[in-house]
Structures are given as structure tokens and as C-alpha cells.
Structure 1
Amino acid sequence: MGTAGSTALARLGLPATGRPAWLGVAALGAAAVALGAVAWHRARSRRPRRLQQVGTVAQLCIYPLKSGKGVPVSEAECTALGLRSGQLRDRFWLVINEKGNMVTARQEPRLLLVSLTCDGDSLTLSAAYTADLRLPVRAPQSNAVHSCRVHGLEIQGRDCGEEAAQWITHFLDTQPCRLVHFEPHMQLRNSRQIKDKFRPTDQVAYSDASPYLVLSEASLADLNSRLKKKVKAANFRPNIVISGCSMFAEDSWDRLCIRDVELQRVMACSRCILTTVNPDTGIMSKKEPLETLKSYRLCDPADQKLYGKSPLFGQYFVLKNPGTISVGDPVYLLGE
């Protein structure tokens, strides 16, 4: 056998002597196939995937307080747990009752009027006809850590203090409440325990099930064309609103790319009575736009185990690749 053949066999861990010539040729052939396969896979991984522009980022919104007012931002970091802008994190603050159960606009519609914003290391709670309350973004470590329940799953939250509790309780004027903050070292909730369409690795803090909700302007416009009284995107609390696409195009977007960010669609968002709360007044109608959505946005009967009889509007996504996105960025459908 020649030197080249001996070298190739040696790379494969095979002895160069003591074997018939035909076996050496076969081994060389196998080596060539193996090396060719590696080269093909490397070339394929380097080959750019097909990108088809499907729209443009029209709005980005962070909801720091679960069921609180959204905070529009022009740019945001996409993390595994949702949008982030400075100290603002999506659904990292939560109102709980004395038993530790979450309090949302489903039970307290006026919660939608509460704004939570951050400026440096200061946190500000504000609402109409109520004096603002400033607090430190990071609650003192001496504050109690509560065991809370969000949609039946246990999760911790650091108490934001007595002043915050009194402010929230006074504004809602119904039951004693406390404000808690999720800290990065705390145990997350597993999304798959809420909806089995999620991966075992998908996790959230105080979000219902998913860190990202995507909605298109065209879908909202189609809904408003059927309503006597128009509603806003705020009724549905999306994180990313897309313009420049057809209505309900988001239902078929399996994987999106915005700059370096990649998002994977998991399932549709089933809508509840919270959508009937007017985000400007905090008044719940219990009817629209939910009743109209039920007339044309129910799931396929085969999917009733997953969605029940709730209408679908918007899509849940999880993060595949992190990065920063801005309003005005093109949105691409990622293909192979």
C-alpha cells in the first residue's frame, strides 16, 4: 500500500499492514465518504438560509407589571424570558393577594391602569388621580420572599415593601394586595406544565405561558372592521406588532428572523375575558371583542383539547437566538 493510503488508514485508526489490498481500498473509500459528509454538513451550516421578508416591526411593548399598563419602547433586547429595556423586564412584577395567588385584570380590571416604569435604579408606580410612588428597582434583601401562585404553579417573588402594598391596595380598593418582584436566581415556571405544546426547556417568570406574543396590524384591522366600537392592540397585550403583512399571516410563521434574533412559533394564543377590559378606563364589558372573535376565530375541532372554546388571536413564540431589535426593523420568515 502506498504512503497516502497508509496515512489515510492511520487517520481512521486502522493498521496499514496485514490486510488484503482490496480491504485497504474499501477503507479509503469509506474515509473519503466520511470526510465528504463532514465537508457537506459544514458547507450546509455555512450556507445562508432563505429569508423572505414578511413585514416590519411596528410596535414593541414591555409589560413590567403583570396585567399592568404596557410600556412602548423603540428598541429592546430579546431574552429567553421576554423583552428587556434597561431595568424593565416583561412580567417581572406581580400583584398577589394575602394567600399568595396572582391578582390580574381578570379579577381587578383597574390594574390595567397601573403603570410601572424604571429610571436608573428607581421604580415608579403611577396611575390617574393617584400620587406616584418611587421605590428602588431592587427590593432590599431583608424583604420577605413570598411563595406565589401563577396559573396554579408555584413561583417566588421578593416583597417590594409596605409602601408599595398600601399603594396597590388603595388604588384597587377591593382586597389587601402586595407587589412582588421576580429575581433572576429564583426558580422559573415550566411552560410545558401550562401547555404541552411548549418544549420541556421553555420557562417563564410571571407571564401566562410564553415570553413572546406576536400580532399583526392587519389582524387587528380585520377584527375592528367587524366591531361597532374599535379596540386597540393594548386589548391583546402583544410584545411585537408587525405591519406590512396580510391578516392572520402570523398564524403560519413558524420561524421569524429580526436582525440576529430568531423566534420560533409554538401555538396560538387563546383569548379570555381580559380582552374585554378597556385599557383606557379599566372597565370590563365581558362581551366585546371576545364575542365577535368567537364568531370566526375558534380553533379546528381537532385542536379543542388544546384551546377549548376560546377564540384565537395572536401567536406565542419562544426565543431561538437572542439579540436586539428595533421598531422599523424588517421581519423575515426563516426557511431552509
Structure 2
Amino acid sequence: MPFRECISQIPRNCLLAAGVGLAAVGVGVYLRGLAGAAGLATLGAGVCLMGAAVLRERSRERIKVGTVSKLFIYPVKSCRGVSVAEAQCTKLGLSQGEIKDRHWIVIKEDGHQVTGRQEPRLVLLTASCKDGHLFLNAPDMPEMIIPTKLPKSNPVKNCRVWGADIHGRDCGDEVSKWITTFLKSSQPYRLVQFEPNMVPRKSKDAEMPFRITDEVAYPDASPIMLLSEASVEDLNTRLQKKVTIYNFRPCIVVSGCNAFDEDSWKEVDIGNVRLASVMSCPRCIFTTVDPETGIIDMKEPLETLKSYRLCDPSEKNIYKSSPLFGVYYGVDKTGVMRVGDPVYKLV
């Protein structure tokens, strides 16, 4: 059992007494000039500090603020989300078995990313994994099947995602032709995969508020984006043409709370996972792509969001003119979450 877990099982009075006792013994021995005293004193101080941290953790209150109603994984960046009942929450986002969030991406021949902003029909592409293979389906196209463990003979491409360099192993010429044909592109596109031995991007390179520990493969910036059903319902009261949760591509959808309550959840526990709020999610024209038709509107719901969801003037250096909808989270503790799990905020 890890040291911190062991300590968390010890009654607080014993914990503090042990720390103080060790520190006192260390100081006493040190005063007598015996070897090892400084180390003993340091150990005692360390136990005290660890004990204080555990006590602070125990004293924090968990308040239920909602329930997980949906979980989504988007295997290929900009593709349709896969709804799952249970997901592993890793440092790089949600996964379930071989399906990992945004671990595949479409690129140009020069390595620059291709997303639904440039190719809206990408939202019609569905991806699933089974028995060591990625299955790609799209309207009026035959099913494409490629291995999830690519041959090492396939070249590793240098990719460019939001100004940052990252690697991806090329999935081959056949899938390249398939995607290029589906998107009716005049230039060839390629599909690449992020592999476990590759170096992820630092979220902070894409959005300044992220911590140095936050990392992603091919998402825009955040390993997790959370949105409440109530926030979408509130938006729909202001729209002539209604939208769905699918316009906004969240990883975690929460029910049972008021609109925009999620803006104030600084830390949340879901299952045995702990997430830390980093920043609001700034929105762009991708929200105007109809997830059912792949047609981009260029205006709504973005214009309506701009009418009431702009940032505070003091944060314009971060968000500029983008409206805010949903929250980006970093992963402080990995684990498993399920649909139906209560969502607790920590206070």
C-alpha cells in the first residue's frame, strides 16, 4: 500500500503525535551531537507535513452537485463521439479498452491537422474498436478496418496541432484514400495514430491557464471537457433552431444541476476520479456544424452564445472574443467513472 494511503488509515491524533515525537527525538539527539539526528528530525517533520495534508483532505466537504448522464470518447479528432457506460479516466483523457480519446487525427501531407472546422463532414465519421482493430464508417462508404497496433514499418509523421509539434504513426495509403474520397478533397489526407511511447503535447502550450502537468494527444487543449444538460437547455430557450449536446462534444455530461453550475466547480470527484477545473471552454465555429448532416452554419449557436456568455473583461487576454460554454478539467487522480455516478464538488 502506498505511503500516503497507509498514513490516511492512521487516526489523526496518533499521526500528529508520531510526527511531533519523531521531530522532538531528532532535535534532542541532534543537540547531543549524535549522527543521524538531522535525518530523524527531517523524517519527523515529513510525517507531520504528510499528516497535515491528510487531515486537510479529510476535513474537505464533498457536496453532490449532479449525476453523470453521458460519457463520450472521440477516437478520431472531430469524428462522432462513442457513447460508453463506463470509462477509464487517464491523464490523457477517457478511454475504454482500445478506444482512446482523440488518439487518431486526420492530417494534410505536410502534417498540419485537419478538423471539422475545415472539413465539417468529419463529424459524420464513426469510429469503434474491437479485437485489435479500428473500424471506420461513413455515409456511402465501405467500412474501413485498420489494426490498432500499426506495423513499425509504417512511417512516423511529424504533425502540427494548434501550433505544437507531435508525432503520429501513419495508418497507410488505403485509409488515406478512403478519407480523402469521403471528404471529397482535392488534396490527399492521411490518418495517423498516437502511440503510447510518443510524447504528448503540453496543454499549457495551447492554453495558458493549464498546469505544467496537464497533457494531451490530439485534443485542442484539455484531456476532459465537462458540460451540463441544463446549460444546453438554457441555450435552447434563446435559439430558433435547437441544438443538442452533440454540437459541443463534451467528454462528461452532467444532469441534475442548474444551468452553468459547472462554471463554479473547482474540483470534482466522480467515481474514484478527481478532476481540477482549469478554465472555461472557449467556443468557435465548430459548434455551428450540424452533427447530423455535417453542414456548417457559420453563425448559430455561436452568435447567440456571444450575446450572453462572453468572459469578464479581465480575462480577455485568455478568451478574447470567444464565448464560454463548458469547462476544461485536468486529471488529478486517474480511475474509473460510470454513467449514473454522482458528481461531487469539493469545498
- Provide closer, same or farther for how the CA distance between residues 40 and 169 of structure 1 changes in structure 2, counting only shifts above 3 A: closer
Quick one: which of 251, 265, 268 aligns to 2:277?
Answer: 265
Give the corresponding residue for 1:222: 234
| CA–CA separation in structure 2 for the residues paired with 1:134 and 1:39 | 51
Which letter does structure 2 place at the counterpart of 1:65? V
For the pair 1:322 / 2:340, whether they are aligned, the reply is no
CA contact (8 A) 1:9 1:15 kept: no
Q: How far is 1:96 from its partner?
A: 0.3
Residue deviations 1:227-280, cap 9 Å, x none? 111111111100000000010000000000012110000000110000000001
CA contact (8 A) 1:54 1:245 kept: yes
For the pair 1:120 / 2:153, whether they are aligned, the reply is no
CA contact (8 A) 2:23 2:45 kept: no
Q: How far is 1:14 from its partner?
A: 3.5
- Provide closer, same or farther for how the CA distance between residues 42 and 320 of structure 1 changes in structure 2, counting only shifts above 3 A: closer
- Provide closer, same or farther for how the CA distance between residues 293 and 45 of structure 1 changes in structure 2, counting only shifts above 3 A: closer
Give the corresponding residue for 2:161: 150
Which letter does structure 2 place at the counterpart of 1:98? E
Helix, strand or coil for the counterpart of 1:167?
A: helix
Structure 1 unmatched ranges of 5 or more: 1-6, 19-29
For the pair 1:290 / 2:290, whether they are aligned, the reply is no
Number of aligned residues = 317
| CA–CA separation in structure 1 for the residues paired with 2:207 and 2:284 | 16
Quote the sequence identity (%).
51
Residue deviations 1:50-83, cap 9 Å, x none? 1100000000000000001100000000000000
Quick one: which of 314, 317, 334 aligns to 1:305?
Answer: 317
| CA–CA separation in structure 2 for the residues paired with 1:88 and 1:43 | 35
| CA–CA separation in structure 1 for the residues paired with 2:50 and 2:115 | 54
Give the corresponding residue for 1:102: 113
For the pair 1:189 / 2:201, whether they are aligned, the reply is yes
Q: CA RMSD in A?
A: 2.4
The 5 A counterparts of 1:132-281 are 132-174=143-185, 175-281=187-293
- Provide closer, same or farther for how the CA distance between residues 15 and 128 of structure 1 changes in structure 2, counting only shifts above 3 A: closer
- Provide closer, same or farther for how the CA distance between residues 246 and 162 of structure 1 changes in structure 2, counting only shifts above 3 A: same
For the pair 1:12 / 2:26, whether they are aligned, the reply is yes
CA contact (8 A) 1:257 1:263 kept: yes
Residue deviations 1:177-200, cap 9 Å, x none? 000000011111111111110111
Which letter does structure 2 place at the counterpart of 1:81? L
Residue deviations 1:136-190, cap 9 Å, x none? 1111110010000000110000000111101101100112100000001111111
| CA–CA separation in structure 1 for the residues paired with 2:47 and 2:334 | 32
Which letter does structure 1 place at the counterpart of 2:210? F
Give the corresponding residue for 1:26: none
The structure number with the bigger radius of gyration is: 1
